[in-house]
Structure 1
Amino acid sequence: MKKLGALFLSIFMVMSVFTTAHAAEKPVGVWIDGTEVKLGNSNPVVEKGTTLVPMRPLLEKLNVNMNWNKKTQTVTGTKNGLALSLTIGSTTATVNGEKKKLEVAPKTINNVTYVPVRFISETIGYKVEWNAAQRTITFVANNEAAGSTGFLWKVENNGNTVYLLGSIHVANDKMYPLRTEIEAAFEASQYLGVEVDLTKVDQTEMQKFLTEKGSYTDGTKLKDHVSADTYNKVVALLKANGLAGNAFDSYKPWVVTQGISSLQMQTTDYTPDTGIDLYFTQKAGKLNKPIIELENMQLQLNMFNQFSDGLQEKLLLDTLDSLKQTDKAAATASLDALSQMWMQGDEQSLVAMTQAVAKEPEYYKGLVSDRNANMVKHVKEYLNSDKKATYLVVVGALHMLGDDGIVTQLQKDGFNVVKQ
């Protein structure tokens, strides 16, 4: 990846805070062992990031023997020595007598009982895969019990413990489950630290900020600030995606670049909804575990806005040029490689990505080194405090290694950072 623009989609995955809007689309389909589950008119629903599906057709397709207790609103199921039970409105389920915590409770909608699809799949011995293009949930035999490796380190000082987890902000279901050590770090922590708590972002305020910082208010348009060649490529891309050619006219190049990356993301099955950050943020919210923001949305948006005009257009043009590969599978292949890097905990590839970004000094300073210094400052505060507490700090993986990485800086300052 010699050009900076070729990195942008990768950076979007491991660094970006932007999320994409979800338009109304065709109903989600559920497939098991190559056959679609007939759900009738009862479509899957999403609640707090968790997909729920109609219980009866799902369990019947999985050959689970069911028993419904109307009085207690409890369903029990058995299959090959496995016994499970779920109760409407309760986030506690049981598997072979052991209590399990559900992200979302089973519920009844129009006299149809809905259950969390991931809980059912993992309990029966499957994992779920999401295909955004086809809008399908597929049950796949789970042969990866160890879970994704990721990038995890542990630092201790003054009775405090900080776990550092390098995240992927935009992911897919293939990255789950996570290995036991990552989940254990979350369980052990009293605090969760993230770049920005995306569950509490005020969309109205963010749009207002984007309008103020990311759009032209002096009567000029995008075409007045970039070359004719760059502008024509933007118009052509928008029209190719069925959008108005002037849709981005009011916005600065950095906003347009993010918008184009979002368009490309929509051709893949990678979404912010399954990102590592959001996964833990939602878990912490349900457990009332305090969430600490190391940054804020305004800071991150200002970073892009403060890039020079030359860098903004370079990012935009290089991103457009990287889309000359008309094969939409190219975007998925690139993100698949990054996903594999994270799942395998490939530090060599992560460092190489950091070094590639560093070849553009202004971009690297704003995106990586300046922000790393601020994050290291926070981590040191946790380590040196008198709280005697445990923290899990989840930030973009690109912040962790390299000359200015959080891990590297802590080691230089004398802390013993242990890879987990």
Structure 2
Amino acid sequence: MKFCCSLRLGLSALLLVTSGFLWSAEDKGLFWHVTSSAGTAYVLGTIHFADQSFYPLRKEIIDAFEKSDVLIGELDAEALDGKKIAKILAKETQLPKGETLKDHLNDEVYKKLKQYFQQENVPFKSVERTKPGWLMMQIMTRYIQKLGYNAKDGLDRHFMQRAQGKKEIIGLESLVEQLRLFLELDDADALVSETLRSIDTMDSELAALVKSWKKGDEQQLELLLIKKPLLTEPKAKPYFDRFIWQRNKKMAKKISLLLKEPKRYFIVIGSGHLVGNQSVLVELAALGMQVERH
């Protein structure tokens, strides 16, 4: 079960490191300047979900965005196309025809899951053909929204909307690639059980992550997102390698290739990808980029 705890924390962290969480002008946040022999980029670390109280954005960040030629996000402008997203979700998140959650969960876990949705007044029939990994993401999303935060106020969406029709928008990953990270998980019983068990304590974890990010404390974020889960259960290392470190290498490689062009880039990446000794920034430095914290 310790590994499952790390898995749940990791999934929670991924919700917090794949998109944007806005902040007020007084908040420091995570912001870097990266340069190569040709191009230059400002890199903004984000956290997912926000509300209007986190505006306005820091002037330094807005100025860097306005001066940029290209916006680079984890996803490209496709993430703004509701019809495309709905089509992809319908294809990727549903179990094969004829299968339901009962075919993927033991009787005890299946019963607990049904009870959860009854308590939430959600018809179980509406979710019984959903893949377990996606369903757990939706449960966590639902909980975060209850705390008052919404994806529509997210930072990635904010900058994509501002850039649309004005700047080139490049994605480092596809929506399908990101989805499959959550969908292709082992041990559905453990994942569902731990997610349901941990919902009541997730608010304190989120609060700690948000507080550290707003202070610009990258060391504390690394502790919360990476070091603490790995200390709790070292066997979770392959999980982090798949969800964080291997993606960091791929992102850094793509960014380094883009920076060979004499352009100005504004890059928005989840904060979990920008902390630690295997971060995107460390990988960029190893590839010959100059990295400076702002």
TM-score range, shorter chain: 0.7 to 0.9
Name the structure 2 match of 1:363: 239
The yes-or-no answer on 1:217 pairing with 2:96 is: yes
**What's the CA shift string for 1:389-418, capped at 9, x where partnerless?**
110110111111223210111223332211
Give the count of matched residue pairs.
283
SS for the counterpart of 2:86 is: helix
> Offset at 1:315?
2.8
The yes-or-no answer on 1:376 pairing with 2:248 is: no
Name the structure 2 match of 1:301: 179
> Offset at 1:161?
0.5
Residues 1:394 and 1:357: Cα distance change in structure 2 (over 3 Å): farther
Q: Which has the higher contact order (CA 8 A, sep 6+)?
A: 2
Aligned counterpart for 1:348 among listed residues 219, 222, 245: 219
**What's the CA shift string for 1:309-347, capped at 9, x where partnerless?**
x2x443322111102x3xxxx555443332222221111
Name the structure 2 match of 1:405: 279
> Offset at 1:356?
4.2
* CA distance in 1 between partners of 2:108 and 2:99 (Å): 18
What are the within-5 Å matches in structure 2 for residues 194-273 of structure 1?
A: 194-197=73-76, 200-273=79-152
* CA distance in 1 between partners of 2:285 and 2:153 (Å): 31
Aligned counterpart for 1:169 among listed residues 35, 48, 58: 48
SS for the counterpart of 1:266 is: helix
> Offset at 1:291?
1.1
Name the structure 2 match of 1:291: 169
> Offset at 1:229?
2.2
Higher helix share: 2
* CA distance in 2 between partners of 1:188 and 1:204 (Å): 31
What are the within-5 Å matches in structure 2 for residues 20-419 of structure 1?
A: 146-197=25-76, 200-285=79-164, 288-308=166-186, 310=187, 312-323=188-199, 325=200, 331-352=202-223, 353-356=225-228, 359=234, 360-385=236-261, 388-419=262-293
> Offset at 1:364?
1.5
Aligned 8 A contact 1:153 1:418 in 2: yes
* CA distance in 1 between partners of 2:284 and 2:184 (Å): 28
* CA distance in 1 between partners of 2:148 and 2:121 (Å): 20
* CA distance in 2 between partners of 1:8 and 1:303 (Å): 10
> Offset at 1:212?
3.1
* CA distance in 2 between partners of 1:212 and 1:179 (Å): 39
Higher strand share: 1
Residues 1:205 and 1:183: Cα distance change in structure 2 (over 3 Å): closer
* CA distance in 1 between partners of 2:16 and 2:31 (Å): 18
Residues 1:200 and 1:348: Cα distance change in structure 2 (over 3 Å): closer
Aligned 8 A contact 2:65 2:266 in 1: yes
> Offset at 1:304?
2.0
TM-score, length-normalised on structure 1?
A: 0.62
> Offset at 1:200?
4.6
Name the structure 2 match of 1:66: none
Letter matched to residue 408 of structure 1:
V
Residues 1:371 and 1:10: Cα distance change in structure 2 (over 3 Å): closer
* CA distance in 2 between partners of 1:400 and 1:177 (Å): 23
* CA distance in 2 between partners of 1:173 and 1:354 (Å): 29
TM-score, length-normalised on structure 2?
A: 0.86
Residues 1:340 and 1:350: Cα distance change in structure 2 (over 3 Å): same
What is the percent sequence identity of the aligned residues? 29
Larger Rg, first or second structure (1 or 2) = 1
Name the structure 2 match of 1:13: 16
